[in-house]
Amino acid sequence: MKVLITGAAGFIGSHTAEKLHDNGYEVTGVDNFSDYYDVSLKNLNATALAKKGISIHKLDLRNALALEALDQDFDFIIHFAAQPGISATSTFEEYLTNNVIATQNLLEFAHKNSGLKHFFNIATSSIYGLEATFPEDVAPQPASHYGVTKLAAEQLVLAEARTNKLKASSLRLYSVYGPRERPEKLYTKLIACAFKNESFPLFEGSEKHLRSFTYVGDIVNGILQALLVHEKLNGEIINLGTEEEHTTQQGIDLVEELLDQKIAIDVTEKRSGDQWRTLANIDKARRLLNYNPSTTLKEGLKQQIDWYKENFL
């Protein structure tokens, strides 16, 4: 089975590419190697994939013509590529073009793959809004350009399923962490600040935010299971996360415990559109995917710390 993974040099995309490759899938990756964060980190991921024989094409999905360089016989497409997160440095145009226009271009490419079995859109709990504790049938209330444009991308994909043009579904991911996490995200930045003896910038009030922190390995297992049962997922939206809930402060405390070190905190102005609570409702994922996340936050953070030490110290 041939799989195309967009955003394959990124955090979750690279782990998914490895997992599918190890399970016998023929994986092709694409990534635009954006400078949203240090490109050397994506290159590090791409090198790890290349050692396994997984090729990554440098390709910007906003350019529809660039997709013509790819094969057109994929069995599955898994679409991670997006303008990520809530960032004051990202413009609305960047969210619009990377999350909406790029998705539409990819869908048009998908139609050229006559044997395509399923298109998986990778979405986010940010679609729900400031609180993300709901089942999949609750009306979304996104509160950021990121959430709004990811919802638009999801609806573009699901419209294809509703009109019987493609078999497609959308997986909404919750607060994913682990090895290769982006450098501006909570745990990679915390760990880096600890080793560099720098202060960690904490948004005012965010230490009380509740998060469904989900280890990347559990997320990837859920994605693999979705491929295996794709025939019953057409048109479905499925939450992937964990039912364990921790505050940001509890996460900071765990990193300090594992490193046996206090991390200096620099409180900064609160961030507009930041979710105050995510708690994944995974009843549907359990029923359809037999999804069962099992990695504790402490276990996952230990893996992330070990990865950081191996690659950056």
Please work out, in degrees rounded to the nearest 5, the angle formed at the alpha carbon of residue 157 by the alpha carbons of 145 and 169.
110
Q: What is the pLDDT of residue 114?
A: 96
Residue 56 vs residues 45, 215, 257: alpha-carbon distances, Å: 10, 24, 38
CA 128/CA 126 separation, integer angstroms: 5
Q: What is the pLDDT of residue 241?
A: 98
**Which run of H or E residues covers position 109?**
helix 102-111
Q: Token digits for 308? A: 């950081």
Check the CA dihedral 291-302-47-188 and report its sign.
positive
66 assigned to some structural domain: yes
Q: What letter represents residue 84's amino acid?
A: P
Range 195-199 contact pairs with CB under 8 angstroms and sequence separation of 24 or more = 195/308, 195/312, 195/313, 198/264, 199/263, 199/264, 199/265, 199/266
253 assigned to some structural domain: no
Q: What is the pLDDT of residue 239?
A: 98
Residue among 146, 174, 215, 308 flagged as catalytic = 146
97 assigned to some structural domain: yes
Q: What is the pLDDT of residues 296-305, one digit of tens each?
A: 999 999 999 9
How far does Cα 193 stand from its chain's mean position? 23
Active site annotation includes 146: yes
Contacts of 312 (CB under 8 A, 6+ apart): 192, 195
Q: What is the pLDDT of residue 269?
A: 82
Q: Which residue has the tokens 């003896």?
A: 197
Contact at 8 Å (CB) between 125 and 172? yes
Contact at 8 Å (CB) between 169 and 235? yes
Q: What is the pLDDT of residues 57-90, one digit of tens each?
A: 999 999 999 999 999 999 999 999 999 887 777 8
Contact at 8 Å (CB) between 152 and 98? no
Range of the domain at 159: 2-173+214-242+281-293
Per residue, what are the HEC states of 19-81? HHHHCCCEEEEEECCCCCCCHHHHHHHHHHHHCCCCEEEECCCCCHHHHHHCCCCCCEEEECC
How far does Cα 294 stand from its chain's mean position? 18
Extract the runs of DSSP E, i.e. beta strands, from the chain. Answer: 2-6, 26-31, 55-58, 76-79, 118-124, 131-132, 168-173, 176-177, 200-203, 210-211, 214-215, 237-240, 246-247, 265-268, 277-278
194 assigned to some structural domain: no
Which CATH number characterizes residue 84's domain?
3.40.50.720
Closest CA to 112 of 76, 73, 78: 73
312: exposed, middle or buried (C-beta count within 10 Å: 0-12, 13-18, 19+)?
Answer: middle
Instruction: Write out residues in the chain with pLDDT < 50, as ranges.
Output: none
264 assigned to some structural domain: no
Buried b (16+ CB within 10 A) or exposed e, 195-220: eeeeebebeeebbebbbbbbbbbbbb
298 assigned to some structural domain: no
What value does the CA radius of gyration of the chain take, rounded to a whole number of Å?
Answer: 19
276 assigned to some structural domain: no
250 assigned to some structural domain: no
| Helices and strands in the chain, H and E counts | 10, 15
Closest CA to 97 of 77, 83, 111, 117: 83
Domain count, the chain: 1
